[in-house]
Amino acid sequence: MQVSVEKVSSVERKLTITVPADRVAQAYNQHIAQYAKKANIKGFRPGKVPIDYIKRRFSNDAWQEAWGEVIQKSLYEAIENNQLQPINTPHIQPKTMLPNQPLEYIASFEVLPEFNNVQVTIKTVEKPVVDIQSEDIDQVIQKLCKQQTKWQVIDRIAQMSDRVVIDYYAVFEGQSDEAHSVKDFPLELGSHSMLPGFEEGLMGGKAGDKRTLQLKFPENFTVTERAGKPVDFVVTIKQVYEADVPKLDEQFIQTLGIASGHESDLKDQIRQTLQQECDRLIKEKLKNQIFQYLLEQNPIEVPKSLVEREAKRIHDELYPEHHDHAHHQHTDVETASFKDVASKRVALGLLIREYAKQERMTAHQERVKQRIQEIASLYQKPQEVVAWLSSKERIQDIEAQILEDQVMDQLLEGAHLEEKTMSYAELKGIHV
């Protein structure tokens, strides 16, 4: 068997493989023998059909099966002998595939990039310094109250902050889309969850009103063929509701899990939660800066197959279902932008793994156990979650997260930290 290996790029390999005719013929004869053994042909006893008849009847199938078998086995041998590690399914391109002739084909696949030495020099790293203010706590309390809002039917025209229940459908380029109309849709006026102008167009309406809103899809709308084009929405207001926001009294505070019902205890709990969130965001900002240095100082080519896999994973996490209704305009991200983010994530993951290998670092098992317990504590049945997280695949994911933290910690040791005072809102804004 002859094998030539072409290094197309740092992550692409192309193998040209030629298998001798006698090896292919041997595989063919074995498949013909199987047909002769199993063939059930009228006029012949099982296993007694003449071999010439079997070949006339099953030769094409036997050759196809022989070629498939030989390609599978010879490719495995070629990969093993050349110490290659494909990270995607090889693409097979036949060159010569004729009966009683040598079999020649090309196998193309991707491999991980080769690393010489991952090095990084960390200069200045900005560290946010945040002091939780009473205004931050008050905003959280307002949100908690709003979440417990009860909606009361009101017999008047709709105003800002009211909730309306509506039926609607779109009319695009003269074509009515009543077949995909939305029924009994609750919409809070002022939430900005619809197309610009949609909610404003319902102000002053009352139950029973039917309105036609003449709007326009955003230029960056998800469905590109509709982007920037006019659209009408035929809307029927079925009901108008007024918000009944609960008062911050002892009874309400107790429903939030504060047994004493004291406002001061609620604020202490909120402050603690906000501080934990600050710590997480500050760590994330430090990590982003550290790893940006790592990426910039160690440019690598990333395999397309890994990027596509990561892009799909990101897309599926963000948008498990695709809808093109007006209230789903926030799904407006193109595949190309997913691939940009995915490419960066893949490159970073490869560099972190290589750096850890280079520094002989492994995930601290105590930190792995602690992370599992932290995740499990968020659920009502933590023991079941621990069992679920203990599978080999999920343990590997958690170990990768811990190893990432360890790499960041080590790189951060030599960095100059420059503190920057900012508000909680500003810190949150960095991570929107």
pTM here is 0.72
pLDDT tops 90 at residue 239: yes
Distances in whole angstroms, Cα of residue 240 to Cα of each of 110, 141, 181, 189: 59, 26, 20, 10
pLDDT tops 70 at residue 45: no
124-132+261-430, which class in CATH?
mainly alpha
Identify whether the C-beta of residue 98 lies closer than 8 Å to the C-beta of residue 88. Answer: no
| pLDDT bucket at 54, cuts 50 / 70 / 90 | confident
At 330 the pLDDT is 40
The answer to which of 32-36, 242-246, 272-276 has the lowest mean pLDDT is 32-36
| pLDDT bucket at 86, cuts 50 / 70 / 90 | very high
Distances in whole angstroms, Cα of residue 65 to Cα of each of 20, 21, 29, 77, 412: 16, 15, 11, 18, 57
Q: Give the pair of three-digit tokens for residue 10.
A: 């740092």
> In terms of pLDDT, which residue wins out, 47 or 358?
358
For the chain, give every domain's residue range: 2-110, 124-132+261-430, 149-244
pLDDT in tens, 381-418: 999 999 999 999 999 999 999 999 999 999 999 889 99
> In terms of pLDDT, which residue wins out, 42 or 154?
154
CB atoms within 10 A of CB 303: 22
The predicted model gives 95-101 an average pLDDT of 95
At 280 the pLDDT is 94
What sign does the dihedral 269-274-275-279 (CA atoms) show? positive
At 162 the pLDDT is 95
Could you say which of 3.40.225.10, 3.40.190.10, 3.40.640.10, 3.10.50.40 is the CATH number of the domain covering 149-244?
3.10.50.40
At 44 the pLDDT is 74
With CA atoms as reference, report the closest residue to 132 among 4, 251, 31, 281.
281
pLDDT in tens, 332-350: 444 566 888 999 999 999 9
pLDDT in tens, 126-179: 999 999 999 999 999 999 999 999 999 999 999 999 999 999 999 999 888 776
Calculate what percentage of the chain has a pLDDT beyond 70.
94
The predicted model gives 115-133 an average pLDDT of 92
Own/partner contacts of 314-318, CB < 8 Å, gap of 24 or more, are: 314/338, 314/341, 314/342, 314/345
pLDDT in tens, 296-336: 999 999 999 999 999 998 888 887 754 444 444 444 444 56
At 43 the pLDDT is 66
At 329 the pLDDT is 44
Q: For the stretch 126-164, what's the b/e string if a residue is b when 16 or more beta carbons lie within 10 angstroms of its beta carbon? A: ebbebebeeebbeebbeebeeeebebeebeeebeeebbb
Identify whether the C-beta of residue 202 lies closer than 8 Å to the C-beta of residue 237. Answer: yes
pLDDT in tens, 251-280: 999 999 999 999 999 999 999 999 999 999
At 328 the pLDDT is 43
Identify whether the C-beta of residue 348 lies closer than 8 Å to the C-beta of residue 294. Answer: yes
At 325 the pLDDT is 45
At 82 the pLDDT is 97
Average pLDDT taken over every residue of the chain: 91
The distance between the two most distant Cα atoms of the chain, rounded to a whole number of Å, is: 96
| pLDDT bucket at 53, cuts 50 / 70 / 90 | confident
- CATH number, domain 2-110: 3.30.70.1050
pLDDT tops 60 at residue 100: yes
Identify whether the C-beta of residue 275 lies closer than 8 Å to the C-beta of residue 265. Answer: no
